[in-house]
Chain A
């Protein structure tokens, strides 16, 4: 302990002596860094910042839309192709399940200066990831439309339904509500949000046994169906991109969408009248609950287990540099809701900040959650299409989940 402190003092003394390049270069002497990440601007900024301090280390990155599929085999190999993987609370799970990432406690202690405690993801007392940005889904509303019809900003989904019905009745819009209900991952995510808002639990405590076929599950489905009825009839094909365009075209007055997509809705392009009237607010609650019907997401970095300590150290130092970088956060304040110290939330971050204030729950980081999510995505479609009852749909979800969970050894 004392030795590392001494080292730290020595290093800072050296930095003082050799001055200028302290900020850009983390003085990494050797090692090789190879990062696997999803592909979107905020992550590119983050990785670029990390690259800025690579020093003499070899630096590679793969941004890929197929990152989920590549991650597990890549990190299973020994040595692993990637020394770091940028994950979210859902995609860290398969890495945890297969024991492919290393605890970061000693590295955080040694090189984690500037990383806030709140950024650390700890599991069973061990630091497994360092988060740097957050996201959630929340409400967007058209101020002008609501004002004109004398509707208060909705706080609950019941109010969203009432407001939408009023807008429809006024003849202003045929389909006033929108959310990403595309069959598959998106629709399942909406179910997860709404079910959590109802206070539901997906599994029997401490086990992988499903428990969604209950009154809360039925209420969730009924609420989704009500909202779907107020949406464009093509809702089962609408992903975030599609509903964003609906909004920009002025077809929609209330919408549930990712905070990370607020950027283009508030920028100068497109119809100025709609942009000016676009306002963000926190996620809605449902059924008299206090917890919002939304899940919080984080993106963070993890280090591969099957990679040399030297590489892990180099990688950590580069990524930690980005994960505690006030300059990056200030420069790219528009790109994401950063969890990094020094971030000043702008108007685009209102949704996430509100959600955190309202104590929204994070997306469940459970080993078997992905299987449940997958089962939900395809099995509740027929209920929304009116082809089967809510109970039957939930029964189907549980059955589909059980088969998958059995194959994966959870049951």
Chain B
């Protein structure tokens, strides 16, 4: 074996190119270029809109109010279709990083608590806090729950495992659009879960939807419920690959079940844990479906929800604003994943 020809350990650049071309092209065209274009647009604002007062009539009467003066604005638009260069203007405005406002709060507030209150009242920071809280609670619990389910199911007789696995991954495969709609009704104060919770807690006025804390807890529990099956599938598969000999040896040595999991199973499936953590963390950072599904906009907003709000909820589409938040989402994810990426880099170097 020993001698490897250099030709083989290193795939030639040309071969690599042809193999990678189709997927590379698809990704560059439909993700890479849009990211660049989004990045560029986040630095631009719309041109100044010249408005004029005109008479408007509709079935209910006439009023005098303003419209955009097309003659005057169309010329500027044609000359510079991208808009007005704004630099980091959108990034630092009040609806994003709000640098100026934070400076003002710092000077004006008397106590640190008051300062924090003011800052967390800003939309971006409000959303960031929820996003991070969600990540912090959901990701580890998804890993843990997924792992425990995998261990438990692994101990069940092989014959009935099929249906059990299928039941386990149900939360992942039902369309979230309606999955959360049905759940939303189930957790209503008069719904099957909500009403029984009231009985259980002996509080006839308990409602999961009325308080901020309970809404957050509901969304987080939904997140764990919805994502655990993904972790389970990967962990369950990984458990099948744990070699038998060390486990048996450990049993003979009198190691407890916990010790075996801790010292043999976990180290073995460590790379898979990293992979699941990476994907989960990324998906959780982009949380937004449960917020829509549970109508929780009032109590919980995430970064992705802000983007959605800018693009979908308003009559006027705020693309620059959404672009800026999207870019910051990417940066946020890159920061969160950085430790894992650095480790991967080291492994990649040593693997050569």
Contacts and interface: CB of A to CB of B under 8 A. Distances in A.
Query: Do A and B touch, yes or no (CB under 8 Å, in the complex)?
Result: yes
B316 A94 contact: yes
Given A373-B315, A403-B95, 12 more contacts: A68-B312, A134-B60, A237-B296, A362-B61, A365-B56, A365-B58, A366-B66, A367-B51, A369-B315, A381-B297, A407-B45, A408-B49
A343 B316 CA distance: 33
Given A69-B317, A364-B65, A365-B58, A97 B45 contact: no
A96 interface: yes
B283 interface: no
Contacts of B47: 409
Given A233-B205, A361-B60, A406-B93, A366 B65 contact: yes
A410 interface: yes
A378 B207 contact: no
A119 interface: yes
B68 interface: yes
Interface size class of A (residues with CB under 8 A): 35 or more
25 contacts: A66-B312, A123-B55, A125-B54, A134-B60, A182-B298, A184-B297, A208-B51, A232-B189, A234-B188, A236-B209, A296-B60, A298-B60, A362-B60, A362-B63, A371-B314, A374-B309, A377-B297, A378-B309, A381-B299, A385-B298, A403-B93, A403-B95, A404-B321, A407-B93, A409-B47
A362 B57 CA distance: 10
B234 interface: no
Contact of A388 (B58, B66, B121, B317): B121
Interface in B320-335: 320-321
B84 interface: yes
Contacts of A370: 314-316
B9 to A, nearest CB: 49
A183 interface: yes
B99 interface: no
Contact of A408 (B101, B205, B318): B318
Contacts of B299: 183, 236, 381
B46 interface: yes
A336 to B, nearest CB: 13
Interface string B188-219: 11100000000000000101011010000000
Interface in A57-106: 66, 68-69, 72, 89-91, 93-94, 96-97, 99
Given A68-B315, A69-B312, A370-B314, A97 B297 contact: no
Contacts of B121: 382, 388, 396
Interface of A: 66, 68-69, 72, 89-91, 93-94, 96-97, 99, 118-125, 131, 134, 182-185, 187, 206-208, 232-234, 236-239, 249, 296, 298, 339, 356, 359-362, 364-371, 373-374, 377-378, 381-382, 385, 388, 396, 399-400, 402-404, 406-410
Contacts of B314: 370-371, 373-374
A377 B295 CA distance: 13
Nearest to A355: B60
Given A184-B297, A234-B207, A367-B66, A409 B45 contact: yes
B289 to A, nearest CB: 15
A-B pairs, top 7 by smallest CB distance, nearest first, are A370-B315, A183-B298, A236-B298, A124-B54, A409-B46, A233-B210, A237-B295
A406 B53 CA distance: 20
B42 to A, nearest CB: 10
A311 to B, nearest CB: 22
A409 B84 contact: yes
A99 B74 contact: yes
Nearest to A121: B58
Interface residues of B, number: 60
A402 B45 CA distance: 13
B318 A184 contact: no
A396 B123 CA distance: 10
Interface in B48-94: 48-49, 51, 53-61, 63, 65-68, 70, 74, 83-84, 86, 89-90, 93-94
Interface in B291-322: 294-299, 301, 309, 311-318, 320-321
Nearest to B45: A407
Given A234-B189, A373-B315, A406-B93, A356 B60 contact: yes
A342 B123 CA distance: 49
A407 B318 contact: yes
A400 B94 contact: yes
Contact of B315 (A90, A122, A208, A238): A90
A408 B95 contact: no
Contacts of A360: 60
A407 B188 contact: no
Given A366-B65, A378-B309, A409-B47, A94 B315 contact: yes
A234 B209 contact: yes
Nearest to A127: B57
Contacts of A66: 312
Contacts of A125: 54-55
B57 A122 contact: yes
Nearest to B90: A407
A374 B313 contact: yes
Given A366-B66, A406-B93, A121 B312 contact: no
A190 to B, nearest CB: 13
B170 to A, nearest CB: 25
B55 A119 contact: no
A99 B70 contact: yes
A377 B317 CA distance: 15
A368 B68 CA distance: 10
A96 B298 contact: no
A307 to B, nearest CB: 18
B295 A365 contact: no
Contacts of A403: 93-95
Given A68-B312, A123-B56, A402-B94, A96 B68 contact: yes
B316 A385 contact: no
A378 B60 CA distance: 29
A373 to B, nearest CB: 7
Nearest to A66: B312
